[in-house]
A and B are shown apart, each in its own frame.
Chain A
Amino acid sequence: MKPSTLVVLRWELRKLVSQKRTYLGFALAVALPVIFVIVEGLRHRHDRGGDSIFASEITQSGLATPVLMLLFLSAFMLPLIASLVAGDIVANEDGNGTLKTILTRSVDRGQVFAAKAIAAMIYATIAVFLSAAVATAAGVASWGFHSIRTLSGTVVLAPKGLLLVFAANLTYLIPLLTVVAIGVLLSTATRNSAAAVVGTIGLVIMLYIVSTIPGLEGIHPYLLTQQFQAWQGLMRTPTDWAPITHSAWVCALYAGPSLLAAYLVFLRRDVAGG
Chain B
Amino acid sequence: MGAEEAPPVKARGLVKRYDEVLAVDHIDLNVRAGDVYGFLGPNGAGKTTTLRMALGLITPTEGVVELFGRDPMRHGARALEGVAGFVEAPRFYPYMSARKNLELLAALDGRDAKQLIGEVLDTVELTPRAAHRVGGFSHGMRQRLGIAAALLRRPRLLILDEPATGLDPAGMRDMRLLIRRLADDGITVLLSSHQLPEVQELCDRVAIVQTGRVVYEGALADLRRQGGASYRLATTDDARALELARAQSGVEHASIGEHGLTFEAQESDVGRLSLALGQAGVAILALTPELATLEDLFFRLTEGDPLALAA
Contact = CB atoms under 8 A, between A and B. Distances in A.
Interface residues of A, number: 30
A226 B91 CA distance: 42
A104 B109 CA distance: 9
Contacts of B78: 2
B52 A271 contact: yes
Nearest to A111: B77
Interface residues of B, number: 34
B88 A106 contact: no
Contacts of A11: 104, 107-108
Interface stretch (B32-40, B53-61, B115-123): B53-61
B57 A103 contact: yes
Nearest to B106: A105
A124 B156 CA distance: 42
Nearest to B78: A2
B104 A272 contact: no
A272 B58 CA distance: 7
Contacts, number: 93
A14 interface: yes
Contact of A109 (B76, B84, B85): B76
A18 B108 CA distance: 18
A241 B23 CA distance: 58
Interface stretch (A62-70, A94-102, A173-181, A242-250): A94-102
B93 A7 contact: no
B91 A103 contact: no
A142 B55 CA distance: 59
B77 A268 contact: no
Interface string B202-218: 00000000000000000
Contact of A98 (B55, B81, B84, B91): B91
Interface in B98-157: 100, 104-105, 107-111, 149, 153
A270 B59 contact: yes
A230 B78 CA distance: 45
A8 B104 CA distance: 9
B76 to A, nearest CB: 5
A33 B96 CA distance: 32
B89 interface: yes
A115 B89 CA distance: 25
Given A8-B108, A15-B93, A274-B91, A107 B77 contact: yes
Nearest to B84: A104
B92 interface: yes
B111 A101 contact: no
B87 interface: yes
A102 B76 contact: no
Contacts of A18: 93, 95-96, 100
A104 B86 contact: yes
22 contacts: A1-B110, A3-B108, A3-B109, A10-B107, A11-B107, A18-B100, A20-B95, A96-B91, A96-B93, A100-B87, A101-B86, A101-B91, A101-B92, A105-B105, A106-B80, A106-B108, A107-B77, A107-B108, A108-B76, A268-B59, A271-B58, A274-B91
Interface of A: 1-3, 7-8, 10-11, 14-15, 18-20, 96-98, 100-109, 268, 270-272, 274
Considering the complex of A and B, which 10 residue pairs feature the smallest CB-CB distances, nearest first? A97-B91, A1-B110, A270-B58, A105-B108, A3-B110, A271-B57, A106-B109, A108-B76, A98-B91, A108-B77
